[in-house]
Amino acid sequence: MPVTEVNFDGIVGPSHNYAGLSFGNLAAMRNAGLVSYPRTAALQGLEKMRANLRLGLAQGLFVPPPRPNRAWLQALGTAPQAADPSLRANAMSASSMWAANAATVSPAPDTADGRAHLTVANLRTMPHRSHEWPATLAQLKLAFRDERHFAVHGPVPPAFGDEGAANHMRFAERHDAPGVEVFVFGVGGGAYPARQHREAFEAVARLHRLDKERTLFVQQSEEAIAAGAFHNDVVAVANERVLFAHERAFEDRDGFLDRLGTAFPALEYVEVPADEVSLEDAIRSYLFNAQLVTPPDGATTLIVPEEARETPAVWNWLQRHLSGNGAIRRVAVVDVRQSMANGGGPACLRLRVVADPETVDPRFLVDEAKLDRLAGLIGCAWPESIDPAELEEPALITAIERARMTLLDALDLRELAAI
190 is in an annotated binding site: no
20 is in an annotated binding site: yes
Q: Minimal CA–CA distance to 111: which of 185, 172, 197, 162? A: 172
Question: Among the options 5, 117, 246, 348, which is catalytic?
Answer: 348
77 is in an annotated binding site: no
376 is in an annotated binding site: no
95 is in an annotated binding site: no
Is residue 380 flagged as an active site residue? no
Please give the DSSP secondary-structure letter assigned to residue 36.
B
- Cα 34 to Cα 84: distance, rounded to the nearest angstrom: 19
36 is in an annotated binding site: no
25 is in an annotated binding site: yes
Question: Among the options 208, 231, 251, 307, which is catalytic?
Answer: 231
101 is in an annotated binding site: yes
137 is in an annotated binding site: no
Are 235 and 229 a contacting pair, CB within 8 Å? yes
Is residue 231 flagged as an active site residue? yes
155 burial (CB, 10 Å; 0-12 / 13-18 / 19+) is buried
Residue 394 identity (one-letter amino acid): P
Please give the DSSP secondary-structure letter assigned to residue 82.
T
342 is in an annotated binding site: yes
Q: Which helix (H) or strand (E) holds 86?
A: helix 85-92
Q: How far is CA 22 from the centre of its chain?
A: 15
Which long-range contacts (C-beta less than 8 Å, at least 24 apart) are formed by 408-412?
408/63, 410/373, 410/374, 410/377, 411/63, 411/363, 412/363
206 is in an annotated binding site: no
Question: Among the options 5, 132, 163, 251, which is catalytic?
Answer: 163
Are 14 and 403 a contacting pair, CB within 8 Å? yes
- Cα 383 to Cα 396: distance, rounded to the nearest angstrom: 8
233 is in an annotated binding site: yes
Strand partners, 272: 246
Q: Minimal CA–CA distance to 345: which of 290, 263, 270, 410? A: 290
Q: Minimal CA–CA distance to 407: which of 88, 101, 66, 69? A: 66
Is residue 348 flagged as an active site residue? yes
Q: Which residues are catalytic?
A: 163, 231, 348
Q: Residue ranges for the binding site for substrate?
A: 19-28, 101, 128-129, 195, 233, 342
Binding site as annotated, residues: 19-28, 101, 128-129, 195, 233, 342
